[in-house]
A = this chain, B = another copy of it.
Amino acid sequence: MSQITREQLEALTREQLTFAKAYNFVIEKLAEHEAWIRLPANGEFLRPGGTISGPAMMALADYTVYAAVLATIGPVELAVTTSLNINFLHKPAPGDLVAKARLIKLGKRLAVGDVPIYAVDDDTMVAHATATYSIPPHREVTP
């Protein structure tokens, strides 16, 4: 069961994660240790040759791990990314992408998420990221 509702995450995103709001991320799934987020196709992010931009995929990966962390430990606003690694695998055809984050570590201080990103239309894995979040020592939970 997710420790944060879709509505809570949407409100938090609207108020505080302005970059995520700009990308129009759609929350597809929130569960313990897991989150799926969709990036709607959007001309704004196209690169030469029509590929969705790397930066859009990096933002998607980062946000999806953030969502998985919050889904697991509740709305900890001060969780921050400490590192992110991404491999771009295949040039996606135009269309929506979906990132599927799974937490492979959830310690007292660090959480690590594994995040394959797929093209929604043909299910190709177009990128693969891992991201580490630092979790504040005293978790201040916003109701």
Question: Which A positions have Cβ atoms within 8 angstroms of B?
Answer: 16-19, 22, 43-49, 51, 53-56, 58-59, 62-63, 77-78, 80-91, 104-105, 109-110, 112, 114, 116, 125, 128, 130, 132, 134
Contacts and interface: CB of A to CB of B under 8 A. Distances in A.
Contacts of A48: 16-17, 77-78
A57 to B, nearest CB: 9
Contacts of A44: 18-19, 22
Contact of A82 (B19, B47, B78, B87): B87
Given A19-B55, A55-B62, A77-B48, A83 B83 contact: yes
A135 to B, nearest CB: 10
